[in-house]
Structure 1
Amino acid sequence: MRNTQFSVFFAIFLFIVVGFFFPGCASIQTPTGGPRDSVAPTVLKETPANFTTNFRAEEINIQLDEYFKISNESKEFSVSPAMDKNPFFKVRKKVLNIQLQDTLAPNTTYTINFGRGLVDYNEGNVLKNYMYVFSTGDKIDSLTITGTVTNTLSKKPVLDATVFIIPISQDSIFGKRRANIFTTTDSSGNFSLKYLRPDTYRVYALKEEGGDRVYNSPNEEIAFLSAPLVFTKDTTGIKLELFRQEAGRFRIVDRKIEKDGKIVYMFNQKLSKPGIRILHPQELNESKIVEFSRTNDTLSMWTEKMDFDSIQVAILNEGKDIDTSVIRRSKRDEYNRELKISDNTPSSRIKPGTDLVLTFSAPVGDKIDPSKVTFLQDSVSVGGLRIFRDTSSTRKYVFKYPWKIDRSYILKLDENAFTGRFGGSNKPFEKVFSRDEELNYGNLALNVSVPDTSRQYIVQLLNERDELLRENPISKNTVIQYNMYSVGKYRFRVIYDSNRNGQWDTGDVYLKKQPENVWNANVEITLRANWELEEKLAIPPET
């Protein structure tokens, strides 16, 4: 018994001693994976060496410092000048083996551009813009083009835009095949194209969707130099401004019947004077109700009946038919024409000088059931509330009252208080709100001077989220009054409205037409509570 107790005590003592002197051995911990690898692979050795002249090898081996893989070889890898037979690329552990399949031209500098196609095996970190350069002659072409890419409206630098050049003799490939000479921009919008030969080039930048280096979608942004670049020496300071071009040919990009019976058509263009005519069932054409988006590229339509098998329409612009469309529906499809309600007070406060506006999800009839409308001030029913239709829309009603500060208001709508023009009604609705105070708003008088009174300019007001709040076309020195704007930061953008049509016109890469020029004032206005602010804005001459 004593030996057993001694053994137990000795084992405990030994465990304590080991834990004291070797604390790492006394606790069992789950191993961690460590920080995520965020470092791109590095090139250790190139055979033959990069920038080799009098190149005669049939293969190239590039050794990296870690295991890697090829990503999107067909899109990312390119050889300039192009070869009839593309090289064969193969990964052998940490080595990229390149086997040349074509006969090389004499006295020519070749650049193998890997784009974003070499990535480490586990995390996908990119060895970005790596190039292997060699010459079959006794010298390497060494000319360089550098510059910046920005957004044409915001003037902010664009990251990962693709900049490429095409010899003018091959410019017919634009929009059809990817260019061989390209690079991408850094976070400051800077780019550098290196190891180029003298030639005359077209210069482009592209912010794309598909990653194929081909401008082939109206949703992609494009930039270009208007004139060809006669390239005989290093060229710096190239400025490319990306814009989204209007689609050349009108197309309906989406069409649908929503569950509440609203019929929607979306276009790839902003129409100048859009319209729609129902071709079948033709009897629905006269009673239809139509609304267009602010940019005239989306159409919403409501019809008296929804029992058709299909509806065929003609889309019009400037009174002329430009397209037709058919939507087919199943007889089992059912539509709930309930009137859903939204309002103009997201913060539950009415801006001084305005009224409560309710927007319904579909056109509303002229008759309101007053017995189903309750209006309370400080929980007490009061009279004097006036309700009338907003003339700008069949879906809006205005609730007008002499709103007072420090009062709480409640608007209640019982079910069926409002009835839809083509059926349906509202569900019970309640809104609790109050009138905001003037001291939460500021006023600004902007004294604008123009450089040329024969030209037209559009002064745009933007908030700190770059959302357009207001625009004013002017052609002479003017004071623009901005009254009762929420406290916050604002800035101004000016469009040089060359054709005086009151809007910014984008460019056309095929016609070599640049967008209308834009100037962003580098002045940020801070409106403070209950302030009257005056500011000057001198528009510079167009450059």
Structure 2
Amino acid sequence: MGGPRDEEPPKVLNMTPNDQSLNTKPEEITLIFDEYIKLDNANKNILITPRINKDEVIITAIKNTLIIELNQDLEDSTTYVFNFQKSIQDLSEGNPAENLKLVFSTGVSIDSLTFSGSVNSYFPGKNDKLEDAIVGLYPIDDTTNVFMAPPYYLTQVDTLGKFNISNIKAGKYFAYAWQDDNNSLKAEYKSEAFDFIKDTISINQNIDGIQFNLSKGDQNPIRLLRSSPSGSNYTIVLNKTPLEISLKNEKLGNEIFYTLGDKRINLYSEEPIRDSLAFNVNLRDSVGYRVDSLIWAKFEESDRKAEKLTVTPNSGKSFYQNLSIELTFNKPLKNINYDSLYLYYDTASIIPINPDMLNFKDSLRRDILQISLSIPDSIPYEAFTLKAADSTFMDIGGQYNEVALSANYKKLKRETLADAITGSIEGAEGPFIVQLLDSKDELKREYYFDTGNKFAFNLIEAGNYQIRIIEDANGNRRWDPANYAERRYAERTFYYIDPETGNKNISIRGGWTLEDLVVTPTPKTGIKPTQN
């Protein structure tokens, strides 16, 4: 039988240069340990500040010795910090050497100022880890920023969202935080969550209480790349999908309709048109950038085979009394055959769908069809199926759906429903968007109110939920991300937290009522105000 498992981390026997050394400019750094070691993702996990060219650095572990070849000159009168985090482990069991740092100065003193605080995420994903976030400082005379190059000073956030940058030289800086998913030590403006403090920070004493709130928002301004005929249709290609679209032409909504795809707007005409038509195109992206352009679209006859008409229902939804069905088509609709469109229940009972139950979400697009109807409790069934035979729907080009539609919905019984969740928002400024999310982070209910701070969700399905609040500062009834170029913060978002468990999840059963929940906001981005 073997002996007990080795749980001791490797211990440093010698460092060259010594920790806290002054007036030293090493070309090579060595650490000698009391046992053989190995490295765990050294390029990512060893943090070196201030910024050096890590592409030139060579890090190797040989037996019990760590060797760092810098291959570059260090700055004068500068304090360098090598934070090894958990990158150095013993060879046999992988026990990491913890809290291991090497600090030395190329000048006559060690810089000792600190910059610390917390990082929060407005929309935390299930796979997001705060410890993958980076906080960085850039001197105000630095010509780069968080999207261009690694910061001058940086640190990694811990599992609780806390951070601390140490050994900072007194000066003025810009501060950023970001989710460094690709380990580039800079933020990807299209895909990574980030935040920034818009004002210059003067660090001439230790600063604590800094707050960052991460969120995503593609910072690239929206652009129209090209536009051209596509068969008998016309396509506008963009660099990103717009949030708002305004198209103007007298035929739009009568003979011509459009759909929005991935980074493209498709225009459809009922008939070929001999002359080009002028369209005013005004687009706005989620960050607030706009493009205003005039295009001339052609709708020519084409021998290209038309795309088949497809339909996607919001099947699988549960409801109580009021059933809301949404059918999404890949092309604008022209006609509906109501004789083959109905709601089926029991074994042979149907509710015919008629025009009074229908409306298009956008009459200029006609690609999202909404069906609304009430199912009274006098119909004692749970399973309802929307049926549509093939050739029920015809698009603007004369194509019919070739596949029959069958979409299932479940009617809930009153006794299985929770009565209500009620509460109030304290310490925040409206207007508010109040959202009820299920255990899959899917939006189940949403309310908006300009004034007041009380909310109520009535008659909801038993289950686990979260309550999310958005401070709608500009009153446009949606969440707005940060705009870095305009130094505008993202709108604050926060969740109900159970004061006893510290958990965001709310569990409620049929017949229950949860009353008087109090939702308080997370701190705003910036420096915590000084308490008098």
Q: TM-score, normalised by structure 2?
A: 0.71
State whether residues 60 and 99 of structure 1, in contact with CA within 8 Å, keep that contact through their aligned partners in structure 2: yes
State whether residues 224 and 239 of structure 2, in contact with CA within 8 Å, keep that contact through their aligned partners in structure 1: yes
The alpha-carbon distance between structure 1 residues 58 and 525, as it changes in their structure 2 partners (threshold 3 A), is closer
Q: Which residue of 2 aligns with 1:437?
A: 413
Q: Which consecutive unaligned segments of at least 5 residues does structure 2 have?
A: 285-289, 499-504, 525-532
The alpha-carbon distance between structure 1 residues 139 and 202, as it changes in their structure 2 partners (threshold 3 A), is same
Counterpart of 1:472 (choices 420, 427, 447) is 447
178-187 or 239-248: which moved more? 239-248
Paired with 1:213 and 1:256, the residues of 2 have a C-alpha distance of: 40
> How far off is 1:166 after superposition?
1.7
Identity, in percent, stands at 20
State whether residues 316 and 410 of structure 2, in contact with CA within 8 Å, keep that contact through their aligned partners in structure 1: no
State whether residues 322 and 372 of structure 2, in contact with CA within 8 Å, keep that contact through their aligned partners in structure 1: no
Counterpart of 1:486 (choices 461, 472, 475) is 461
> How far off is 1:49 after superposition?
2.7
Paired with 1:408 and 1:99, the residues of 2 have a C-alpha distance of: 69
2:398 equivalent to 1:428: no
The alpha-carbon distance between structure 1 residues 325 and 179, as it changes in their structure 2 partners (threshold 3 A), is farther
Q: Which residue of 2 aligns with 1:337?
A: 308
2:371 equivalent to 1:398: yes
Q: Which residue of 2 aligns with 1:379?
A: 347
Paired with 1:541 and 1:221, the residues of 2 have a C-alpha distance of: 17
Paired with 2:112 and 2:256, the residues of 1 have a C-alpha distance of: 67
Residue identity matched to 2:191: N
Paired with 2:388 and 2:310, the residues of 1 have a C-alpha distance of: 12
Q: Which residue of 2 aligns with 1:159?
A: 131
The alpha-carbon distance between structure 1 residues 117 and 528, as it changes in their structure 2 partners (threshold 3 A), is closer
Counterpart of 2:58 (choices 71, 89, 96) is 89
Paired with 1:181 and 1:470, the residues of 2 have a C-alpha distance of: 43
Aligned-residue CA RMSD (Å): 5.4
State whether residues 393 and 400 of structure 2, in contact with CA within 8 Å, keep that contact through their aligned partners in structure 1: yes
State whether residues 118 and 209 of structure 2, in contact with CA within 8 Å, keep that contact through their aligned partners in structure 1: yes
Paired with 1:335 and 1:123, the residues of 2 have a C-alpha distance of: 63
The alpha-carbon distance between structure 1 residues 45 and 225, as it changes in their structure 2 partners (threshold 3 A), is same
Paired with 1:277 and 1:333, the residues of 2 have a C-alpha distance of: 27
2:184 equivalent to 1:212: yes
Paired with 1:44 and 1:421, the residues of 2 have a C-alpha distance of: 78
143-152 or 487-496: which moved more? 487-496
Paired with 1:407 and 1:112, the residues of 2 have a C-alpha distance of: 64
State whether residues 179 and 194 of structure 2, in contact with CA within 8 Å, keep that contact through their aligned partners in structure 1: yes
The alpha-carbon distance between structure 1 residues 201 and 432, as it changes in their structure 2 partners (threshold 3 A), is closer
Counterpart of 2:80 (choices 110, 122, 141) is 110
Counterpart of 2:257 (choices 283, 289, 301) is 289
Paired with 1:119 and 1:287, the residues of 2 have a C-alpha distance of: 70
How many residue pairs align between the two structures?
Answer: 494
The alpha-carbon distance between structure 1 residues 301 and 283, as it changes in their structure 2 partners (threshold 3 A), is closer
Larger radius of gyration, structure 1 or 2? 1
Match runs of 1:111-260 below 5 Å: 111-112=81-82, 131-152=101-122, 158-170=130-142, 172-245=144-217, 247=219, 249-251=221-223
Paired with 2:297 and 2:435, the residues of 1 have a C-alpha distance of: 39
Paired with 2:216 and 2:296, the residues of 1 have a C-alpha distance of: 26
> How far off is 1:346 after superposition?
0.6
> How far off is 1:337 after superposition?
1.7
The alpha-carbon distance between structure 1 residues 119 and 435, as it changes in their structure 2 partners (threshold 3 A), is same
SS at match of 2:142: helix
Paired with 1:289 and 1:122, the residues of 2 have a C-alpha distance of: 67
> How far off is 1:161 after superposition?
0.8
Q: Which residue of 1 aligns with 2:510?
A: 529
Q: Which residue of 2 aligns with 1:346?
A: 316
Q: TM-score, normalised by structure 1?
A: 0.70
The alpha-carbon distance between structure 1 residues 211 and 276, as it changes in their structure 2 partners (threshold 3 A), is farther
Instruction: Give a deviation string over 1:163-190, Cα, whole Å, max 9, x none.
Output: 1112223265554332232121122122
Paired with 1:120 and 1:263, the residues of 2 have a C-alpha distance of: 60
Paired with 1:57 and 1:450, the residues of 2 have a C-alpha distance of: 55
Paired with 1:516 and 1:428, the residues of 2 have a C-alpha distance of: 44
Match runs of 1:302-321 below 5 Å: 302-304=268-270, 315-317=281-283, 321=292
Match runs of 1:266-277 below 5 Å: 268=240, 270-272=242-244, 274-276=245-247
Q: Which residue of 2 aligns with 1:18?
A: none
Instruction: Give a deviation string over 1:389-415, Cα, whole Å, max 9, x none.
Output: 621343426385756113766665443
Q: Which consecutive unaligned segments of at least 5 residues does structure 1 have?
A: 1-23, 25-34
Q: Which has the higher contact order (CA 8 A, sep 6+)?
A: 2
The alpha-carbon distance between structure 1 residues 277 and 480, as it changes in their structure 2 partners (threshold 3 A), is same
> How far off is 1:121 after superposition?
10
State whether residues 271 and 297 of structure 1, in contact with CA within 8 Å, keep that contact through their aligned partners in structure 2: no
